[in-house]
Structure 1
Amino acid sequence: MSDERRERALKLALAGLLHDVGKMKLRAGESGASRTWDDEAKRDYGRFHALLTYDIVGDWLPPFQDSEAVKNWAAQHHRPNKREDHLVRLADRLSSGEREKTDPDDEMATQPKQLLSIFCVVNADNQNNLDKLYWPLRALDLNEQTTDEQWFPGQEWAKTDVDRSYQNLWKELNEQAQNLRQAHANGGDLETYLESLLYLMQRYTWSVPSAYYHSLPDISLYDHSRMTAALAAVLDDLALSDEELRALAQAPQESDTPVALLVGGDLSGVQDFIYTITDRGATSALRGRSFYLQLLTEAAAHYILRRLDLPITNLIYAGGGNFYLLARANDTADLNRIRLDISRILYNHHQGDLYLAVAGLPLAARDFFAGRISSKWQELGELLQVVKKQRFVELPASDLACLFEPQGRGGNEEKQCSVCGREYEDVHPDKNNPAVRKCKACESFEEEIGDPLRKARYLVWDFEPQLPTPPDGVRSSNTSSPWKAVLKNLGAHVHIEATLEELHEPKGRRLILALDEKSLNTLKPAAQIAVGRRLLVNVTPLVTAEDVSKYGKEYQIRTGQSLKEGAVKPFELMSMQAIGIERLGVLRMDVDNLGQLFAQGLGEKATLSRVAALSFAISLYFEGWVGVLARKRNQTQGDRLYAIYSGGDDLFFVGAWDEVVELGREIRRDLTPYAAKHPGIHTSAGIVLIGGKYPLAQAAQDAGRAEEAAKRHKWWDDNSDTPHTKDAICFLGRVLPWQRFGMKKSATVSFETAYDTLAFLEDLLARQKASRSLIRTLLRLDERYQEAMDVRRRTGRDLGENHRPQPLWGPWNWLFEYQLARLQRMYEEQLEIKSNLETLCQEMKEAFHQRIEWVSLAARWAELKMRKGDQSEH
């Protein structure tokens, strides 16, 4: 690594990150500047906000070497003089991907001053969004008290509310930035300062538009500024004369000059690594393994940035086993060496179970314009898929030979880990259950990640002052590697802490991320310590004293183990706590057509900042709001949900089956208003029910297949002649579109959705004490109907001339009316039941072939909720 190269990249990134910060002060109504805004000032800065940027950066920057120069680089991007000014100007233009507008005197002339949701400008599922909804102007302070009205996009605010919000945001940002400056006043660290500042910008400018004068206000100041910072850091290595650089900055949209390298990373082997574990120790180990993969992805991204002498601003996104970052155009050779070193590190610790595909794609200046960045993003994704299919191909022949050597001894149960099933020399009995043998890796996933996460308030990253020497080859090993040893080879140490009181002093840089708002308020930056907020769906149910009292004896009889207050709640206990039948629910869900959304959704509007904004908006939902929903349900419904993973665009939950279904409904229900009511932004989900001892690895596969069935399902609505696909859920083996499954409960008796029908049946059976014969009738008729439909589908006669499903008439029609008539006569004296049964009969008579799909599902659903005492396996 070159210290000089890295320091210059940091300073240019800092200038790029702050180049538009003057807009915040201007919009807050504070127009006081160090100079009078006259003709001379206009010639020097071009825009009034640039002059304010000059003043702000001067107030914020600690006395680093060249801090005066950085102040000018940030402020002079509209009137560049020096080479660095032109670099920031070029980075600004590439980030926004659009031509500069004329220079008006009044920068406050147009409305709205709020950030238009990025979901209002994308085409998704071949549909455009006709709504114009705006993010609330507030700090990113998501917590359990936050409501959807406070956080979701909505109508434009009144001017007084907008002005007041800008004033509050600017005041808080300025105060925090001044505190940060003070922390670095006596010999701080530039890299640490930049990272803390990046988190401040995220918190206070995530919903602030970067521009709204003659511009579509859909890119936040945070996303535009961080992408400008990333570009400024990589453009410095361009082999261009000052004259050539000025020409490029003037018209980048016409140039084929390579300016950057888009780098992607994709972790493979994830499914087998997480799910191929036994039920012994699975509760904590599963969460530990899942979170370790998140840490590993981020550690690898940090490692690459450090090897390339690039700042944290160049990490575009990391989550879900993937990362994207921006490197220099001439970094390809270095990237190939880094890819080799990472492969050796992962093989030496995981013996081929995990592999990180890394690929880079050159970007020319013109690729940042006219929507071309989307096709480049897609091209990189395709390149990563090719690399994943050629795992470890980058290894030399001497290393590859090691991959095909025999692993372990085979068949030695005494050396086999009871959790992961692999043989190791260092397997030993579990201290709490001698019958269970664990390797060091599984033990560390459970004891050092899974268990601490249940009470964690802070995630602490310590970075080695110097990166470790990369391994010179691969080796087979009969011993397991604790997770910390893997991250150490990538130059990082991670601590999962409930308190910071006993944390040792760092040897190098430290990053402390608060996992909740209360913890964030306790953090203060220091010369070697960056601080920020980490959104994490850390939902872990714990055993309570009430659980021990109510279920302890029965649990011990069933499992031979005792319940321990404060421990992670075992799957068997959550199954016992389910309403109705004792089952766990396993939920898997993700956003439909996400690859297509990034590749085509923004069309010609695609810019680097918009792609970053779209990625950030999706991750905020799955890493932020999903956690709020799950924690609220655990607080009100008895702590019966367990988040295995939620991030990127997908999630995986386990819990009491009835709670898992309710959570899935809420997540899909809230996605539409969060996505600015875009009809093409939706998810598909699969839910399976299992017994408490059913292998979780198999359950994960079952839920995955259910999710795929939902994505393949074709369905029609009343407004379309062509079928829809996806936006569906598979539950109890039946696939329904979400609109027929039901995301909201009707205020009146209704049979338009399965959920409304369930509410009717539950009320009929529980409150009105009606006979369960209605449930049995619905299930028998549905069974006969489905058998006939299967025969029709196999013969290709299920669709009419209009290519829509056509009605299938048969004995089920008149049998249904006959059975309902009998039930009505049974309740002649109970008018409410009789009236509801008449309504159901009429609804089914009008469209039996449509409604039987969700009415029968509701019947099965109600039956399971009313059943008790069945502990048979899946």
Structure 2
Amino acid sequence: MGSHTETPTKVWLAALAGLLHDIGKFALRAGERGTREWDDLGRKDYGYYHALLTADFVEQYVPDPWRVAVKHLAGNHHRPQSRDERIIALADHLSAGERADPTEDTRAAHPGQLLSVFCGIQADKKQAPEPRYVPLQPLRLAQEALFPGSELPRDQIWKRYEDMWGDFTGEAGRLRQAHAQEGDLPTYVETMLLLMQRYTWCLPSAYYHTRPDISLYDHSRMTAALAAVLMDSALDDERLERLDQTAQEAEEELALLVGGDISGVQNFIYTITARGATSALRGRSFYLQLLTEAVARYLLRRLDLPPTNLIYAGGGNFTLIARPGDRARLRDIRRDVSRILLAHHRGDLYLAIAALPLQGRDFYWGRIRHKWEALGDQLQRAKQRRFAELDSDLEALFRAQGHGGNEEQQCQVCGREHRETKPDPKSITEENPEGVRKCPACLSYEGLGEKLRRAQYLLLEQVGPPAPAGPEMVGAQGLAPPPGGWEEVLRALGLSARLAGDRHDIPAGNEARRTILALSDAALADLSPQPRTAVGRRLLVNVTPILREDEIKKLKEKKMQDLPDAGSTKPFHVLEAQAQGIPRLGVLRMDVDNLGQLFAEGLGEHATLSRLATLSFAVSLYFEGWVEHLAARRNDQDRAAGLGERLYSIYAGGDDLFFVGSWDAVAELAREVRADLSRYAAGHPGIHASAGIALVGGKYPLYQAAEDARRAEEAAKGLQWWDNGERRSKDAIAFLGQALPWKQFGLEDCAEKGLHNAHALMHLLVDMIEAKGEAWDKTPPRALLRRLIGLHREYLERAEARRREGKDHNRAGQPQTLWGRWMWLGFYSLSRMYDQSKLNSIRELRDQLKAEEFRSMAWVGLAARWAELRLRQREQR
């Protein structure tokens, strides 16, 4: 094992070489010719044309201090001559896990477009209906850049490569210039990693003999991760040569798969009162994202590993690649992180860490997926033994943390006692002259949430060396110091974070390493690399409804109290009031069905480290990127329609989301997220998500609303249903007390009206009742809705009775058509309504129900309840 300094240069150079080893493929497809003739001598030196082009790129764009070393390491990975070059070659093979070298290395032989990774997945015993290809565009939140489609003609493909190569090399040149005088290798590597993400996320890495569904970005970063850990190993030339030939069956431990999972997240976010909840809720959620990042970076710094080794971080969990010999240090790191979290969060949050060794053979024939699954199982077991690593320190957790019964020191938001608890001046109003008492931590979360709503940049700055946390943080006298704000926690982990609404709000850099991340595509254009400042894009769902002056005026006219100033985040009771129909808040929880199974089984024997990284990135790109676009677009549409911004993102990342907003807007967002997920996942019928929506009042306890939405989501995930003779499960939504498959709930545009699903029928009923005329005078419109709800209730009762009797399926196991009195009763009731009103819409509804033998009765009740709530008069406002 090599010596561990703050920046072990050989490890970082290996990571950089691994990151750039295949950049020549990009150049080749862009039509680059190289600086030397591709002849027999070139073939002898480099093996393949793209390797020569890689060496050319390094020569032109990597700064002087590292150029020669990286040129040999990256350029010679097909013709390695030294121990270090063989490390890159082995890392390349392990990362790919399946690739045979091609017999031809020309532009025509290379795959042109990246096949969507979802096309190679088997889920629900189904596959994608046809090949779909990722657009050849730099990463940005636009439909034409993210959603797969048909393959382009070859001439268009090469033109896209040429354009992107020009932009990429232009930025690589500016990065080189930034490090020309006083280069900093870690900063350069991180910026290049972010640059590679932007331009190579959509390029296929796969070579001639494999399906091109692994991105060049993901293959390159996994090669970099493995090169970093192998470079610091005891592998010599002889063992490396042997491994290069026998790695597919080698039992030698070559790397360590490390996972981290923060538990207690749900209670931490949602168990707060409604006082100041809007900003505090978003602040707490974003803090957990920062905490995940801080912990992951803390591990990497303590292990002397570059950011390339972080496979994924978000949603309270992370995965990274370390050395086999890092297991002992991981135990110390886990203890130190536990001390920090215990001191600041009093046991509310805990970081579980698990690690599994990866043998050479684990990288081939899909074996890596079993390790991925086993790591998840280990993390679950670790979460059941919270803080066990603290041993004697653990007793501090059970000591009294306050004086008990000291009301003046009790925070009215989180309920904890703190000696610095005091009334928040911003909460003092005529209606509440004493204000709301808040502890420093809650005030800090609210402040973070307020800053986040207008943030365009996230600045992360390295703070001092990553020193171990000593036992004094959890001492004999109990937990000390008292919990502070979120900034103190991150600093204890060696990270400082701040948000900026404008590029000019970011302070000038000093000697500390830092990273500036643009939170929007537009903001990225204003960033440029600096010697000790890495720059790039960070995907973050940051949708916050802002209260405008004209809205305040209207709400005051309706006698609404407790309104914040214009420009503030809308409180929940305002979102409730701005709902269409009944004033209610909607709470949405949603996540991908069977995601763990997708990773563990979906790729089968084709599972490789690079392909799993590609799948992980693809899923997070949708939930951390595209979901923001959908929510922001709906807020824009509602604002333009005079309804105001009505959606608030609490969390979206990994594979799940949590939104709060006006109930009708939340329901529409859920439909859009599910509909676009299918298109994004190449139309794969087995890749889907389930959702639960709870309707609550604006003063309803937040933790209970979150729990209600969770139970609704569980009801959706527990649904069993039939689709064209096939028994299906999940892929559903629970709304207004009923779980329905999305297919029956409706995913079409709002313009669609009819009986074919609940959403279309809801719009049909609303249009029928809102139609002008005197005809409704003889038939109260609500009578129609109540009748449909009653018929549906009878239908459900009969269906449940048949299920208990075992008569709901025939001998072949197929569902039996359900007949009952609601059919003739419904026809009779609607006929009477038509006779009384002479409304053609009622007659048409009756005739359509009869024509399709009342099959839509499964969702008629939900549609009628939905319509009733949309039409509900607002006397209670």
Query: TM-score normalised to the size of structure 1?
Result: 0.95
Q: Which residue of 2 aligns with 1:858?
A: 863
Counterparts in 2 of 1:402-441, with a 5 A limit? 402-433=396-427, 434-441=434-441
Q: Which residue of 1 aligns with 2:771?
A: 767
Q: Which residue of 2 aligns with 1:123?
A: 122
Larger CA deviation: 658-667 vs 161-170: 161-170
Does the CA-based 8 Å contact 1:575-1:691 persist in structure 2? Answer: yes
Q: 1:749 to 1:562 in 2, by over 3 A?
A: closer
Does the CA-based 8 Å contact 1:465-1:509 persist in structure 2? Answer: no
Aligned to 1:296, which of 291, 295, 305?
A: 291
CA distance in 2, matches of 1:746, 1:10: 53
Shift of 1:112: 4.3
Q: 1:458 to 1:521 in 2, by over 3 A?
A: same
CA distance in 2, matches of 1:808, 1:103: 62
Amino acid at match of 1:11: L
Does the CA-based 8 Å contact 1:824-1:837 persist in structure 2? Answer: no
Secondary structure of the structure 2 residue equivalent to 1:133: coil
Q: Which residue of 2 aligns with 1:45?
A: 46
Amino acid at match of 1:836: E
Q: Which residue of 2 aligns with 1:194?
A: 189
CA distance in 1, matches of 2:58, 2:166: 15
Q: Which residue of 1 aligns with 2:154?
A: 159
Amino acid at match of 1:420: C
Shift of 1:842: 1.8
Amino acid at match of 1:300: V
Q: Which residue of 1 aligns with 2:135?
A: 136
Q: Which residue of 2 aligns with 1:93?
A: 93
Shift of 1:744: 0.4
CA distance in 2, matches of 1:417, 1:748: 49
CA distance in 1, matches of 2:495, 2:510: 11
Q: Which residue of 1 aligns with 2:706?
A: 700
Shift of 1:409: 2.6
CA distance in 1, matches of 2:753, 2:426: 52
Aligned to 1:24, which of 18, 23, 26?
A: 26
Q: Which residue of 2 aligns with 1:324?
A: 319
Shift of 1:241: 2.3
Larger CA deviation: 123-132 vs 166-175: 123-132
Secondary structure of the structure 2 residue equivalent to 1:836: helix
Secondary structure of the structure 1 residue equivalent to 2:188: helix
CA distance in 2, matches of 1:742, 1:748: 9
Q: Which residue of 2 aligns with 1:2?
A: 4
Does the CA-based 8 Å contact 1:47-1:103 persist in structure 2? Answer: no
CA deviation vs aligned residue, 1:236-271 (integer Å, no higher than 9, x gap): 233222111121123311211100000000000001
CA deviation vs aligned residue, 1:547-598 (integer Å, no higher than 9, x gap): 11211343xx444x23310000111111111000000100000000001111
Pair 1:246-2:241 in alignment: yes
CA distance in 2, matches of 1:552, 1:506: 49
CA deviation vs aligned residue, 1:620-643 (integer Å, no higher than 9, x gap): 000011000000000111210000
CA deviation vs aligned residue, 1:298-348 (integer Å, no higher than 9, x gap): 100000000000000000000111100000111110111111111111101
Q: Which residue of 1 aligns with 2:832?
A: 822
Q: 1:130 to 1:748 in 2, by over 3 A?
A: closer
Secondary structure of the structure 2 residue equivalent to 1:781: helix
Pair 1:450-2:449 in alignment: yes
Aligned to 2:536, which of 532, 544, 558?
A: 532
Amino acid at match of 1:260: A
Secondary structure of the structure 2 residue equivalent to 1:330: helix
Q: 1:549 to 1:176 in 2, by over 3 A?
A: same
Task: Work out the percentage of aligned pairs sharing the same amino acid.
Answer: 53
Secondary structure of the structure 1 residue equivalent to 2:214: coil
Does the CA-based 8 Å contact 1:456-1:497 persist in structure 2? Answer: yes
Shift of 1:768: 5.4
Secondary structure of the structure 1 residue equivalent to 2:388: coil
Aligned to 2:487, which of 484, 492, 500?
A: 484
CA distance in 2, matches of 1:588, 1:748: 25
Larger CA deviation: 246-255 vs 488-497: 246-255
Amino acid at match of 2:598: L
CA distance in 2, matches of 1:863, 1:724: 30
Aligned to 1:517, which of 516, 521, 532?
A: 521
Pair 1:757-2:765 in alignment: no
Q: Which residue of 2 aligns with 1:841?
A: 849
Q: 1:37 to 1:797 in 2, by over 3 A?
A: same
Q: Which residue of 2 aligns with 1:216?
A: 211
Pair 1:724-2:718 in alignment: no
CA deviation vs aligned residue, 1:393-448 (integer Å, no higher than 9, x gap): 1112x20221222232333322211111112212111112233100000000001x
Q: Which residue of 1 aligns with 2:430?
A: none
Pair 1:268-2:263 in alignment: yes
Q: Which residue of 2 aligns with 1:181?
A: 176
CA deviation vs aligned residue, 1:597-656 (integer Å, no higher than 9, x gap): 111111000000000000000000000110000000001112100000000000000000
Counterparts in 2 of 1:355-366, with a 5 A limit? 355-366=350-361
Count of matched residue positions in the alignment of Structure 1 and Structure 2: 853
Shift of 1:380: 0.5
Does the CA-based 8 Å contact 1:552-1:563 persist in structure 2? Answer: no
Q: 1:76 to 1:716 in 2, by over 3 A?
A: same
Does the CA-based 8 Å contact 2:451-2:499 persist in structure 1? Answer: yes
CA distance in 1, matches of 2:67, 2:699: 62
Larger CA deviation: 639-648 vs 793-802: 793-802
Shift of 1:804: 4.3
CA distance in 2, matches of 1:363, 1:324: 14
Secondary structure of the structure 1 residue equivalent to 2:496: strand
Amino acid at match of 1:486: V
Q: Which residue of 2 aligns with 1:76?
A: 76
CA distance in 2, matches of 1:819, 1:565: 51
Aligned to 1:312, which of 307, 312, 317?
A: 307
Q: Which residue of 2 aligns with 1:12?
A: 14
Q: 1:810 to 1:213 in 2, by over 3 A?
A: closer
Secondary structure of the structure 2 residue equivalent to 1:461: strand
**Tell me, which stretches of 5 or more residues in structure 1 are unaligned?**
none
Shift of 1:102: 4.2
Q: 1:56 to 1:111 in 2, by over 3 A?
A: closer
**Tell me, which stretches of 5 or more residues in structure 2 are unaligned?**
428-433, 639-643
Does the CA-based 8 Å contact 1:108-1:213 persist in structure 2? Answer: no
Counterparts in 2 of 1:329-344, with a 5 A limit? 329-344=324-339
CA distance in 2, matches of 1:737, 1:699: 23
Does the CA-based 8 Å contact 2:647-2:661 persist in structure 1? Answer: yes
Amino acid at match of 1:779: I
Amino acid at match of 1:201: M
CA deviation vs aligned residue, 1:51-84 (integer Å, no higher than 9, x gap): 11111111111122x4301111000000000111
Larger CA deviation: 674-683 vs 1-10: 1-10
Q: 1:658 to 1:748 in 2, by over 3 A?
A: closer
Shift of 1:518: 1.6
Secondary structure of the structure 1 residue equivalent to 2:426: coil
Shift of 1:835: 5.0
Larger CA deviation: 798-807 vs 91-100: 798-807
Does the CA-based 8 Å contact 2:63-2:176 persist in structure 1? Answer: yes
Aligned to 1:682, which of 675, 684, 688?
A: 688
CA distance in 1, matches of 2:7, 2:325: 14
Q: Which residue of 1 aligns with 2:596?
A: 595
Q: Which residue of 1 aligns with 2:795?
A: 785
CA distance in 1, matches of 2:510, 2:570: 34
Shift of 1:746: 8.1
Amino acid at match of 1:328: R
Does the CA-based 8 Å contact 2:725-2:814 persist in structure 1? Answer: no
Shift of 1:286: 0.3
CA distance in 1, matches of 2:798, 2:335: 58
Does the CA-based 8 Å contact 1:820-1:841 persist in structure 2? Answer: no
Amino acid at match of 1:697: Y
CA distance in 2, matches of 1:179, 1:221: 22
CA deviation vs aligned residue, 1:818-866 (integer Å, no higher than 9, x gap): 11111222344x54x255224333245x1x3x42221111000000000
Shift of 1:5: 6.5
Aligned to 2:229, which of 231, 234, 253?
A: 234
